[in-house]
Amino acid sequence: MGEIKGTVRNQYRMFCLEEVIAEDNEIRFYDAFVDSMDLEALGFTIRESKSMGRNSYSTSSLVKLYIYGYYNNIRSSRLLEKAYEVNLEIKWLVNEISPSYKTISEFRRLNTEGFQQIFDYLMFFLRKKGVFTEEETIGVDGTRLHGQNSKLQNFNKKKLDQLIARAEKQIAQYLEELDQADGFENRDDENNEKEQAPDPDELEKLEKLKKLKGNLARNKNILKQLEASDDEQISLSDPDSRRMGRIREGSIVGYNGQIATTGDSKIIVASEVTNKPDTNTLAGMAKQAQENLGKKELNVLADCGFSESEQLYECEQEDLTPYVPSKPAPYERAKGEFAKSKFIYDEDQDSYLCPNNKQLQTNGKWYIRKNKGRKEKRYKEYVMRGNVCAQCPFRTKCQSDSDIKSKKQKHLKRYEYEEYRQASNERAKSSPEFYKQRKAIVEHPFGTLKRSMGFTYFLLQGLEKVNAEFKLICSCYNIKRIIKMYGVKQLIKALKELIYCFLAICQTSKFTVVHNKQKSR
């Protein structure tokens, strides 16, 4: 039997792009979805036709191109330009326009606000379609994603102090070597009459010395900038990126991508990027999810990194019930039966009772805890009165060696809204099976985003642009999810049925504000 050799390459063919694209191809949904938008109201720049010269490319085509690119992990403007040349799906989607990579890149740079609004627009569509009717629980979590800034271009005070000290030591060493070699500082005209060729080793040392002095001056300047700022670190390539720790992979310089995911559909209903830890993000993410779901009451599942008492308080004020366990400090674990959790708080008397049945009292004053780069926190101090601790048989187990040596009495801090943290912790512990759902709810999308779709880093720089890119990434994940749930044909049908609802979207405050902001520009 002969081999299948295919067709002749130079044979002329006639075909229609419309017939090449199957009716259930996912790009038909991108096409219908973008065509249903009022792009100007969403914040995209609409360029008017020119009386002279070449007109601009269609805004809707460029939006479709980016949705296709991020959906298929083709994010680079150069790769998108190249993909157009060989991809019939893209040719069909953008009506065979062929923008250069510069045009593609510039469009994303100028329309970050519009790309952010696509996420909210998709939420509007899904809510009107009735996707979220059964949702009562959301999971909130964050993941570290690389930014466009290397570790070498990120500095904190400790690192800068070490670099400056090392440079000063090396400079002193080079100067000493040069002095010993041929009197570097006081070379005069002993041999003016004879011209001598410069020593190559000496020239090399002078060049290194010049470089060291340049680095020293640069690092001192960076240190001044850091000390003048309210932050604990500074990045040079992407000023908004920060160095963040990760459990297994070590630290990265980048951003913290936050999402809130529904319990049943596994759809991302809130997304935000921050360059801070998880600590102060729970309430904002839960409120965003509450608005996008159109729900008054929700259960919120999150890990112990979100157990900030003020955030839990804000959640409960909005009918959001948090299930967040508290993470005891390492030194509290070591104390065992004398950890802070073993001290019983009496709300009526505003005091603590220690495991030895002795009372710690407060003067009623609020103190402020200030940490550079972090939010201020209010707390009260509770102290053992008299000389009780000195006579306690359990003192060595309860107090630190330094407190015993300085003859301090036992003292505790109670932060504002502490009761909400304790209530949330009790809910999580008393419902272990319910709380276990958190991993399945919120870590499922991260697995898809990072492993299946390849989103482990950002291409853009700056918090605003990175946030727009992240919302576009989450929108593509949601599109992938709903296509799997409902199919392309059903979603396009739903878009057509709700087209009149979409026309009313500009009347909502969120999109009207964006529209007016763009007009004022």
Note the pLDDT tens digit of each residue in 176-200.
Answer: 777 776 554 444 454 444 455 556 7
Q: Per-10-residue mean pLDDT for the chain, 521 residues long?
A: 79 85 93 91 76 75 94 93 92 92 92 93 91 90 93 92 91 78 50 54 78 90 89 92 77 94 92 91 94 92 92 94 84 75 90 92 90 78 89 88 88 91 93 92 91 92 95 96 94 84 52 46 42
What is the rounded distance in angstroms from the CA atom of residue 256 to the CA atom of residue 466? 10
For position 504, what pLDDT does the model report?
A: 54
pLDDT for res 306: 93
Please tell me the predicted confidence (pLDDT) of residue 199: 63
How much is the pLDDT for 134?
A: 84
> Of all helices (H) and strands (E), which one includes residue 221?
helix 200-228
Q: How far is CA 491 from the centre of its chain?
A: 30
What's the pLDDT at 483?
95
d(CA 20, CA 91): 11
pLDDT of residue 1: 55
Residue-level length of the chain: 521
CA–CA separation, 312 vs 417, rounded Å?
8
291 backbone dihedrals φ, ψ, rounded to 5°: -65, -45
- Integer Cα distance of 286 and 311 in angstroms: 10
DSSP secondary structure of 53-109: SPPPPPHHHHHHHHHHHHHTT--SHHHHHHHHHH-HHHHHHTTT----HHHHHHHHH
Give the angle subtended at the CA of 305 by the CAs of 300 and 308, to the nearest 5°: 75
pLDDT digits (tens, 9 = 90+) for 297-355: 999 999 998 999 999 999 999 999 999 998 776 666 667 788 888 899 998 999 999 99
Whole-model pTM?
0.86
User: Is 299 in a helix, a strand, or coil?
Assistant: strand
pLDDT, residue 48, reads 62
Q: Outline where DSSP puts E strands in 289-447.
A: 298-301, 320-323, 344-346, 351-353, 359-362, 367-369, 377-384, 411-415
CA distance linking residue 425 with residue 202, whole number of Å: 67
Is the separation of the CB atoms in 321 and 427 below 8 Å? yes
- CA 355 – CA 363 distance, rounded (Å): 21
Query: What pLDDT, on a 0 to 100 scale, did the predictor assign at position 279?
Result: 87
Measured CA to CA in angstroms, residue 8 lies from 4, 85, 177 at distances of: 12, 21, 75
pLDDT of 402: 87
Residue 462 has a pLDDT of 93
Cβ-count burial of 117 within 10 angstroms (0-12 exposed, 13-18 middle, 19+ buried)? buried
Distances (CA, A) of 135 to 234, 299, 441, 498: 41, 10, 12, 21
CA atoms of 20 and 72, how far apart (whole Å): 19
Give the per-residue pLDDT at 449: 92
Q: List, for residues 62-95, the tens digit of each pLDDT value.
A: 999 999 999 999 999 999 999 998 999 999 999 9
CA dist 135 and 299 (Å) reads 10
Distance of CA 517 to the CA centre of its chain: 25
